[in-house]
């Protein structure tokens, strides 16, 4: 193996805006072992229930993007999903706890959501007809989507005031709906129970002990309904904010082993859609890094109270209340989004669902045109390049360079994600192997030290068997340097649909392995090193 343990990258700031001397900053990638592992289909996007009447701050950005009214025959939609081959889609959101399924004993008049002053979240109960469910699954089957469906967890309960809901869950409607889904042969990968009813709740909350008993009931029902099939769908819950770790711990302990396959939580850490500080938060390394504590605490809660389960981010829009019309659909948002994907995977998160595939201001696709926003291409690049094996990365001296590394997907080597948060400094990263690992001493003595200070020395490349001494680079920047632009450039070329309406190929530029990596201000780079033979990655690509 060419590099046994550690890959070092030395960084130099090409602009003298920093008070520190950055000539000796290092980026270290530990190649000795993986530190976490994601699901093969880590990247996920949601389709929500919000109707056109959903408004925030005098902005109504949802249009016709609900499960109930989305144009399922739009060719841009199909092609956007198919490009992931496959894409995990979570069907769910706030109003899933207000939806009934028009099947079995619950068949009655099936009406959409209506605005009301007395209903929970400002809307009446809505209804999903089986005809519409058939149409939705036709899209999923055609595009090869992997589906997670969020069930109504409030059915049968009643409000006792102050947001608290009590009573037993009435599972009959869910039973009939799941049974219908099975008889139609729709391959649901996972069922999620409830949305934002955990901890302090959003609009409504349920006691953790009752929630845990409901999960046992649902798991038993799933096993019975699927007993005659060779399918064993996952059970995911509770799809809420991790604002009360004890609530989550109790949920795991009450439900017990072999019940809850994935503990899901939501991420909206940038503030509300009218917050004027969103852009500043995205470019603040302190603010971005602060959310690591949540991922760490979720991981620790699972390890201590439910090691049979795993962590999922079931919904993440960054900006709550439908996203920001000024930021969420622009290039700048990809800095937050990709940093989140990197951070979440580092803490053993298996799935990360973006709010939304389409709808609101934070859709991967534009609400009206269905044309991809910048974050769509960021998600697709991650999905195509970053394998499930996560490697440890550390960066000395500066927090303005964010870095994550994974085993490359479907190929040998590793892929490094670098994000430059600095607004005016280009960072040049020169590549080195660890001087303490397999490095000839005469090279160290002659070139690593000069005049009492460290300087760059030659990259010690060992060509892998049948491999190349070129690396692959994918540089993402904003059109015309406008970081709130809705056009993203890949290696200087605009990312836009082809004349046939297809998703363009995301092609790298090939660079000699010895050349520095140049990361321009407020930009993103994926860098793949296919010539590295990393034993830890052999089964995790």
How far, in Å, are 45, 462, 533 from residue 324 at the CA level?
Answer: 18, 48, 43
State the catalytic residue, choosing from 196, 472, 473, 533.
196
Pull the structure tokens for residue 483: 């970081």
pLDDT score, position 4? 42
pLDDT in tens, 338-356: 999 999 999 999 999 999 9
Residues 90 and 353 sit within 8 Å (Cβ to Cβ): yes
Q: Is the dihedral of CA 269, 274, 275, 280 positive or negative?
A: positive
Structure tokens at 309: 């389960």
Weakest-pLDDT range from 20-24, 30-34, 445-449: 445-449
- The pLDDT of residue 16 is above 60: no
Query: How many residues appear in the chain?
Result: 541
CATH 2.60.40.1180 domain range(s) in the chain: 22-35+395-436+458-537
CATH architecture of the domain with range 22-35+395-436+458-537: Sandwich (2.60)
Check: CB of residue 56 under 8 Å from CB of residue 319: no
pLDDT, position 18: 47
For the question of residue 196 being annotated catalytic, the response is yes
pLDDT, residue 446, reads: 21
What pLDDT was estimated at residue 11?
A: 56
At 21, the pLDDT band (50, 70, 90 cuts) reads very low
Tens digits of residue pLDDT in 446-461? 222 222 222 222 233 3
Give yes or no for residue 440 having a pLDDT over 70.
no
Q: Each residue of 353-396: pLDDT tens digit?
A: 999 999 999 999 999 999 999 999 999 999 999 999 999 998 87
Position 5 scores a pLDDT of 55
Mean pLDDT of the chain: 89
Residue 431: predicted pLDDT: 61
Predicted local confidence at residue 398, as pLDDT: 83
Closest CA to 402 of 236, 282, 260: 282
Q: How far apart are CA 449 and CA 245, in angstroms?
A: 50
pLDDT, mean of residues 97-120: 88
- Arithmetic mean of pLDDT, 287-312: 98
DSSP 98-159: GEEEESGGG-S------B-SSSGGGB--EEEEHHHHHHHHHHHHHHT-EEEEEE-S-TT-EE
DSSP codes joined into one string, 398-428: -SSEEEEEEEETTSSSEEEEEEE--SS--EE
For 155-177, what is the mean pLDDT? 96
More confident residue, 516 or 224: 224
9 has pLDDT over 90 = no
Q: Which of 37, 217, 253, 315 is catalytic?
A: 315
Overall average pLDDT of the 465-493 stretch: 90
The yes-or-no verdict on residue 117 having pLDDT over 90 is no
- In this model, does residue 10 exceed pLDDT 80? no
The whole-number pLDDT of residue 138 equals: 98
Residue 481, pLDDT above cutoff 80:
yes
What was the pLDDT predicted at 455? 28
Which residue spans of the chain are classified as CATH 3.20.20.80? 36-394
Average pLDDT over residues 468-488: 94
Phi, psi angles (nearest 5°) of residue 75: -65, -30
Q: What is the 3-state secondary structure (H, E, C) of 269-328?
A: CCEECCCCCHHHHHCCHHHHHHCHHHHHHHHHHHHHHCCCCEEEEEEECCEECCCCCCCC
Read off the pLDDT of residues 263-282 as tens digits, 9 standing for 90 and up. 999 999 999 999 999 999 99
Rounded to whole angstroms, how far apart are CA atoms 385 and 361?
26
Count CA atoms closer than 13 A to 303's CA, side-chain side: 9
| pLDDT surpassing 50 at residue 293 | yes
194, with CB counted inside 10 A (0-12, 13-18, 19+), is buried
For residue 119, what pLDDT band results from cuts at 50, 70 and 90?
Answer: confident
**CA 120, CA 164: separation in Å to the nearest integer?**
12
- The domain 36-394 is placed in CATH, from the list 3.40.190.10, 3.20.20.80, 3.40.1350.10, 3.40.50.620, at 3.20.20.80
pLDDT of residue 422: 93
What tens digit of pLDDT does each residue of 497-539 get? 999 999 999 999 999 987 888 899 999 999 999 988 888 898 7
> What mean pLDDT do residues 49-64 have?
97
Q: Does the pLDDT at position 102 exceed 70?
A: yes
Q: How far is the C-alpha of 541 from the C-alpha of 25, rounded, in Å?
A: 29
Q: Report, as an integer, the average pLDDT of 96-107.
A: 89
Q: What is the pLDDT of residue 106?
A: 66
């Amino acid at each position: 193996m060419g590099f046994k343990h550690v890959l070092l990258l030395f960084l130099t700031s090409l602009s003298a805006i920093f008070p520190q001397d950055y000539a000796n900053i290092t980026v270290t990638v530990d190649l000795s072992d993986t530190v976490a592992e994601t699901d093969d289909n880590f990247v996920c996007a949601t389709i929500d229930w919000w109707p056109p009447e959903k408004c925030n701050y005098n902005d109504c950005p949802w249009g016709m993007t609900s499960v109930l009214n989305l144009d399922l025959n739009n060719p841009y939609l199909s092609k956007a999903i198919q490009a992931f081959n496959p894409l995990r889609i979570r069907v769910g959101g706030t109003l899933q706890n207000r939806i009934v399924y028009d099947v079995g004993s619950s068949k009655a008049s099936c009406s959409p959501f209506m605005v009301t002053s007395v209903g929970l979240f400002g809307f009446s109960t809505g209804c999903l007809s089986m005809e519409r469910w058939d149409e939705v699954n036709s899209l999923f089957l055609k595009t090869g989507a992997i589906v997670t469906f969020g069930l109504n967890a409030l059915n049968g309960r009643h409000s006792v005031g102050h947001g608290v809901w009590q009573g037993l869950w009435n599972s009959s409607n869910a039973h009939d709906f799941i049974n219908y889904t099975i008889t139609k042969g729709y391959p649901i990968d996972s069922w999620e129970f409830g949305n934002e009813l955990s901890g302090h709740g959003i609009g409504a909350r349920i006691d953790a002990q009752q929630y845990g008993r409901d999960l046992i009931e649902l798991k038993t029902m799933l096993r019975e309904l699927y007993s005659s099939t060779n399918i064993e769908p996952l059970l995911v819950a509770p799809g809420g904010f991790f604002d009360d770790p004890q609530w989550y711990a109790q949920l795991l302990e009450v439900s017990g082993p072999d019940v809850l396959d994935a503990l899901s939580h939501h991420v909206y850490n940038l503030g509300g859609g009218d917050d004027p500080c969103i852009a500043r938060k995205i470019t603040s390394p302190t603010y971005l890094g602060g959310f690591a504590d949540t991922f760490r605490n979720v991981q620790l809660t699972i390890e201590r109270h439910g090691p049979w389960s795993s962590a999922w981010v079931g919904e993440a829009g960054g900006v709550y209340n439908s996203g920001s019309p000024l930021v969420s659909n622009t290039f700048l948002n990809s800095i937050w989004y990709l940093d989140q994907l990197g951070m979440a995977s580092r803490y053993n998160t298996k799935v990360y669902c973006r709010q939304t595939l389409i709808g609101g201001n934070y859709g991967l696709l534009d609400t009206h045109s269905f044309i991809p926003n910048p974050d769509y291409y960021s998600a697709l690049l991650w999905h195509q390049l970053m394998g499930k094996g996560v490697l440890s990365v550390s960066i000395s001296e500066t927090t303005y360079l964010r870095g994550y590394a994974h085993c490359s997907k479907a190929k040998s080597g590793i892929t490094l994600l670098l994000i430059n948060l600095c607004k005016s400094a280009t960072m040049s990263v020169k590549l080195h192997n660890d001087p303490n690992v397999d490095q000839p001493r005469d090279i160290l003595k002659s070139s690593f030290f000069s005049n009492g200070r460290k300087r760059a020395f030659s990259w010690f490349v060992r060509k892998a068997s049948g491999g190349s001494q070129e690396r692959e680079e994918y540089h993402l920047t904003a059109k015309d340097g406008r970081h709130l632009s809705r056009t993203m450039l890949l290696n200087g070329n605009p990312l836009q649909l082809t004349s046939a309406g297809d998703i363009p190929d995301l092609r790298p530029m090939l660079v000699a392995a010895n050349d520095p990596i140049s990361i321009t201000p407020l930009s993103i780079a994926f860098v793949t090193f296919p010539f590295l033979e990393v034993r830890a990655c052999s089964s995790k690509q």
